[in-house]
């Protein structure tokens, strides 16, 4: 039995709930006019954007999955009282399956994305049923191989990068390696596709992308919507980690128009954690991907627009496209303009900086040569699969490093953990230190630093050198995988030209940490007040989470700051 079949078998009633007569009547008030379909008629097409969800009143809808290679299978048949769709319906993403009217045809009530969100929020009872069903359906689709098909060497650097992008953003995909899969090899040979065009990305409707970028892939799966440059959002959030998603959930749930921009994936560094065990309310722990996935879904449920990958290039505190800005309404006078690296621009009345931090890179000249060829910056099941039953090196001493070691130790033969300092007590939670001490296949090297990465003829990592900083003894081991989790620098370089003041390390200063010299701006004399606790040196621009100077580097703290920022955003909008 496949993983997807097992999920459906054991949780069928939750995945395909049947609404009662009273619940059907409640739901109909939120939907559109009843539509009628003849037997076999397409209700919603495969890979269709903004397709409605349908509540079946009479007859049935047969749901069929089809991949880009033409394989087709029936997922389920929705009967009267059941609702079609899955979690992507909330954002109008392309459908991962096709719906056809059953043998007797069907009558069904359509719910577009806004109507569906209104139903989920307006009826707590139905909302709970459908949200659980939609999340579980996405899990089942993920395990069944729905969505994008990647054709190419599974372990190639570009394939690994695309796999990580899709996985971290919760987009279903399948990898077919032509070196081991005959059908993939035949497909590539039939189209005479050169190796330089690999990997291929094939959408469920057969659309083919050759050697795509993450942005091209994101557009196909609905992660990167086209943004309206003339729309002014109440709040634009830069960064979709715990802090940014917390703002998105609380602000959108309170009726504000919200845009979230992230250059890589939702969840930030927390999303890459194999297991978080000290987050309130999860005594048995939860993976960072699962925790952040729930937050991402919550934000979409309340109507937040999330664009990934969307990187902000510059932030202008007033819209420079307007010459006489003082003649505009107050909301437009205070609007900020965000210019993205892809040329798009968006406008918002307030901006929340939640870009977090990035892991530092050791000063090794060969570092770039081995990225994707044995050098890794996070530990997901994709990397763990590459390292099965081998020795690895992990560099770092913080909580993220500890969580990665615990996860990887269960997959690999041995972990060499390189710690620059004399121990872990100053940088890691006690529960993680205890967990590491209990691992039989962990060898910790304190006062040790990475000194050299060595490659083979094919360009892949083949050996690693490290040196003890006290004894100066250097060791070389035939190790092909290195994980880097060493310290963190703020992701704030993009703010250098917009007047947001940072400290000497580049972390953003807010509230009481700002001096009078930092606030000598015309804008503050107009405001006639001091900055709010999470407000930066620019009025209406806030900073939260790890990128903020003085913040506590914990997931719970980031979420708390996100919630607090929303009240300060409300105060700014009211003023």
Q: Where are the domains of the chain?
A: 3-144, 148-221, 232-358+489-574, 367-486
Whether domain 3-144 has CATH 2.60.120.10: the reply is yes
Only one residue has tokens 């392309």, namely 94
Q: E-strand spans in 41-155?
A: 42-44, 53-66, 72-78, 98-111, 148-151
The distance of Cα 35 from the centroid of its chain, to the nearest Å, equals 36
What CATH homologous superfamily does 232-358+489-574 map to?
FAD/NAD(P)-binding domain (3.50.50.60)
φ, ψ dihedrals at 12, nearest 5° = -55, -45
DSSP3 helix / strand / coil % (the chain, rounded to 5)? 35, 25, 40
Distance separating alpha carbons of residues 383 and 274, to the nearest angstrom: 12
The candidate with the shortest Cα–Cα distance to 187, out of 150, 216, 224, 217, is: 150
The 8-class DSSP code of residue 479 comes to: -
Q: Strand 345-353 vs strand 336-340: parallel, antiparallel, or unpaired?
A: antiparallel
Q: Say what the pLDDT of residue 62 is.
A: 97
Structure tokens at 224: 């990167």
Helices (H), 373-429: 381-386, 399-409
Question: What are the residue ranges in the chain where pLDDT is below 70?
Answer: 1-5, 318-334, 521-523, 525-527
The candidate with the shortest Cα–Cα distance to 141, out of 9, 49, 7, is: 7
Q: Say what the pLDDT of residue 114 is.
A: 96
Instruction: Fold for 367-486, please state it.
Output: FAD/NAD(P)-binding domain (3.50.50)
Residue 514 contacts residue 498 (beta carbons within 8 Å): no
CB < 8 Å & 24+ apart, contacts of 279-286? 279/555, 279/556, 280/556
> Is there a shared CATH topology between the 148-221 domain and the 232-358+489-574 domain?
no
Distance separating alpha carbons of residues 233 and 259, to the nearest angstrom: 7
Phi-psi domain of 352 (left: phi exceeds 0; alpha: psi -120 through 50; beta: other): beta
Residue 194 contacts residue 152 (beta carbons within 8 Å): no
Distance separating alpha carbons of residues 310 and 516, to the nearest angstrom: 34
Residue 474 contacts residue 467 (beta carbons within 8 Å): yes
Is the C-alpha dihedral spanning 57, 59, 65, 66 positive or negative? negative
Q: What is the DSSP string of 138-157?
A: HHHHHHHT-SEEEES-TTSH
Q: How far is CA 161 from CA 104, 199, 229, 382, 558, in A?
A: 46, 11, 30, 10, 27
The distance of Cα 55 from the centroid of its chain, to the nearest Å, equals 30
Q: E-strand spans in 410-529?
A: 414-418, 442-445, 448-455, 461-468, 474-477, 482-485, 488-490
Structure tokens at 314: 């510059």
Distance separating alpha carbons of residues 210 and 196, to the nearest angstrom: 9
Please give the model's pTM, rounded to 2 decimal places: 0.91
Which CATH architecture fits 148-221? 3-Layer(aba) Sandwich (3.40)
Number of H helices, E strands in the chain: 16, 26
Distance separating alpha carbons of residues 31 and 521, to the nearest angstrom: 50
């Amino acid at each position: 039995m496949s993983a997807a079949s097992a999920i459906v078998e054991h949780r069928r009633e939750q995945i395909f709930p049947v609404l009662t007569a009273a619940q059907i009547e409640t739901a109909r008030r939120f939907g559109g006019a009843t539509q009628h379909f003849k037997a076999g008629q397409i209700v919603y097409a495969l890979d269709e954007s903004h397709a409605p969800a349908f509540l079946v009143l009479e007859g049935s809808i047969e749901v069929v999955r089809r991949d880009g290679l033409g394989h087709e299978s029936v997922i389920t048949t929705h009967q009267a009282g059941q609702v079609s769709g899955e979690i992507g319906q909330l954002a109008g993403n392309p459908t991962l399956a096709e719906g056809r009217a059953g043998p007797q045809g069907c009558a069904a009530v359509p719910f577009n994305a806004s109507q569906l969100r209104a139903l989920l929020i307006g009826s707590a009872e139905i909302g709970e049923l459908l949200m659980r069903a939609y999340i579980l359906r996405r899990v089942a689709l993920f395990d069944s191989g729905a969505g994008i098909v990647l054709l190419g060497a599974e372990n190639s650097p570009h394939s690994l990068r695309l796999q990580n992008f899709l996985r971290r953003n919760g987009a279903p995909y399948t990898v077919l390696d032509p070196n081991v899969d005959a059908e993939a090899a035949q497909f590539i040979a039939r189209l005479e596709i050169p190796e330089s065009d690999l990997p291929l990305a094939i959408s469920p409707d057969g659309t083919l992308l050759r050697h795509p970028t993450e942005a091209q892939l994101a557009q196909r799966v609905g992660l990167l919507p086209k943004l309206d440059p003339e729309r002014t959002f109440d709040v634009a959030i830069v960064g979709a980690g715990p802090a940014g998603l917390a703002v998105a959930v609380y602000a959108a749930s309170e009726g504000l128009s919200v845009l979230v921009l992230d250059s890589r994936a939702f969840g930030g560094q927390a999303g890459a954690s194999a297991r978080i065990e000290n987050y309130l309310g999860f005594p048995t722990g939860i993976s960072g991907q699962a925790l952040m996935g729930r937050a991402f879904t919550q934000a979409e449920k309340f109507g937040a627009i999330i664009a990934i990958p969307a990187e902000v290039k510059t932030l202008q505190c007033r819209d420079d496209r307007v010459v006489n800005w003082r003649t505009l309404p107050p909301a437009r006078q205070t609007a900020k303009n965000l210019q993205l690296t892809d040329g798009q621009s968006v406008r918002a009345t307030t901006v929340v900086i939640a870009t977090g931090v990035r892991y530092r890179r050791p000063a090794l000249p060969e570092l770039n040569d081995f990225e994707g060829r044995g050098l890794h910056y996070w530990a997901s099941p994709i990397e763990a699969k590459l390292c099965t039953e081998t020795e690895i090196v992990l560099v770092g001493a913080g909580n993220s490093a500890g969580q990665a070691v615990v996860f990887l130790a269960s997959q690999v033969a041995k972990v060499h953990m390189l710690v620059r300092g004399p121990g872990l007590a100053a940088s890691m939670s006690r529960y993680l230190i205890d967990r590491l001490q209990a691992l039989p296949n962990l060898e910790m090297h304190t006062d040790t630093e990475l000194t050299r990465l060595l490659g083979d003829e094919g360009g892949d990592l083949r050996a690693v050198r490290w040196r003890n900083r006290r004894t100066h003894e250097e060791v070389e081991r035939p190790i092909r995988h290195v994980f880097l989790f060493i310290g963190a620098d703020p992701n704030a370089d993009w703010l250098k030209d917009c007047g947001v003041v940072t400290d000497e390390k580049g972390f953003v200063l807010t509230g009481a940490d700002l001096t009078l010299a930092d606030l000598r701006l015309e804008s503050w004399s107009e405001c006639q007040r001091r900055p709010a606790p999470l407000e930066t040196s620019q009025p209406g621009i806030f900073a939260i989470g790890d990128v903020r100077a003085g913040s506590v580097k914990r997931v719970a703290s980031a979420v708390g700051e996100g919630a607090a920022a929303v009240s300060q955003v409300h105060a700014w909008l009211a003023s």
